[in-house]
Amino acid sequence: MCTIINRKNVCLLLMAVLFVFSLSVKGSCGSESDDSNVWSYNNNDKENTLEISYKFNGTATQYAVIDLDDSYFRMVYNSNSTWGTSVILLPSFWTKSICDDNDDRDSLCQGAPIEISTVQIDGDDLVISIKGTIGGLSAQGQLQFLPPQYNSFSATVNMTISGDVDLDTSHTGEMFKPVTLSSMHVSSDKWDTQLAFAGSNTFTIPQKEWIMQPQDSVTKRRFGLVGGTSANLKTNAPTVEIVFAQPLQIAGWVTASDNTDDDNIGFWAASNQLLNSWQYTVTVKPHYSVPIYRFYNANNTDHFYTISEEEATTVPQPYEYEGIGYYACNTIGQNVLPLYRFHNPNTGEHFFTISREEKNTVPQPPYEYEGTGYYVYNNATENAYPVYRFYNPDSQLHFFTMSETEKNTISAPYIYEGIAFYTFKEEGMDCYRKIE
């Protein structure tokens, strides 16, 4: 089990935070002399936090804060987002001895002070080195912040530890947790997170006890907590996604609470043995619909679709940008399914399918699986519209469109194959939708 995790009340007025130290960086759209894209950081002695921001074209867009009292770390994806789920940077673990001064937590070691060793620039990235001790273990780590993309902010975390502890073997599946997500959900309309996920599996948040028990846990590289807007508390809390270098056991616990100022959720990746080092990437992003950019290659008649603004700016010739094809979700949610993406280097085609059965029968080679493109629906739901799929047997290429006009005017040799999936016509639509 877990206990309520007390969290520092960091100011939610993001734009009011003063960052007094600035470091010029060559931005993704900048030049060597361009000082409009900068990393900024400030040691807030009153709160004992390190505050970080990134300014793009002179405007602060993304923020992060590291609480030095307990190693809790939070990020937001734009200035309209609010603080939500935290990442605990130091490991958590169950031990047979008392952990530091945490007598009230039985034998759970979780949250301890850290120090900032260095802050420096590495190319376009901001790199922060940290160190701390917890339960007899000495930890050193590095957070490498990548220049933010549109509505997305990521950092790679590398941690190493030295020392030894006597792990409590009665806590199988949660003995040693290299990373824990700490969040809050006290009711259906007061929360920082509304849903948990591990791989493509989603889990509802109960009022108390297990989200997923360790004995029932899944082993995944990717897990996280879904944010969004809760009716009576918060707007645009970020979805927090962790991607590990290796798969670990995922589980989580909820402590019953009605206090919105305290975290009552722990959701973690765990091992049944002490790990000496680990690496993961943490990404925060919105849980609402964002643009899908559409490109066309006149040489082979292939259409390409991407949710990535970074990828959209690097699509090579002869592809030509045609505009926004539709809007989709960039995070998993209840009833939202992954759209699998393939590439055929022989024809140049990019193929997409929501069907797991079809995914498993796509011939490889010549197709190469590229992962999840984005997330969509396989059923009609409020404000979600069909995307139609066509196939050209001459070129062996597929075409997808939401446009009723294109659907009704497309001609032979294209063959209509039906509705591929459902998604949105507008940006900012809620990606958490229950389908009755």
| Cβ contact 65:13 at 8 Å | no
Residue given tokens 């559409």 in the structure block: 294
Q: What pTM does this model have?
A: 0.75
Output the tens digit of pLDDT for each of the chain's 436 residues. Answer: 443 444 444 433 333 333 333 443 333 333 333 455 789 899 999 999 999 998 876 666 789 999 999 999 999 988 888 999 999 999 999 998 777 554 544 589 999 999 999 999 999 999 999 999 999 999 999 999 998 877 889 999 999 999 999 999 899 889 999 999 999 999 988 999 988 988 878 888 999 999 988 877 789 998 999 998 887 788 889 999 999 988 999 999 999 999 999 999 999 999 999 999 999 999 998 888 889 999 999 888 889 999 888 788 889 889 999 999 999 988 777 678 899 999 988 888 889 999 999 999 999 889 999 999 999 998 888 788 999 999 999 888 899 999 999 999 998 899 999 999 999 998 878 776 543 3
Q: What is the Cα–Cα distance from 380 to 415, expressed in whole angstroms?
A: 23
Q: How far is CA 406 from CA 299, 390, 410, 421, in A?
A: 20, 11, 6, 16
| pLDDT tens track for 332-341 | 776 788 999 9
How many H-runs (helices) and E-runs (strands) does the chain carry?
Answer: 3, 33
Selection from 371, 1, 366, 24 nearest residue 208 by Cα: 1
**Secondary-structure class of domain 66-285 per CATH:** mainly beta
Domain limits, the chain: 66-285, 290-424
d(CA 315, CA 295): 8
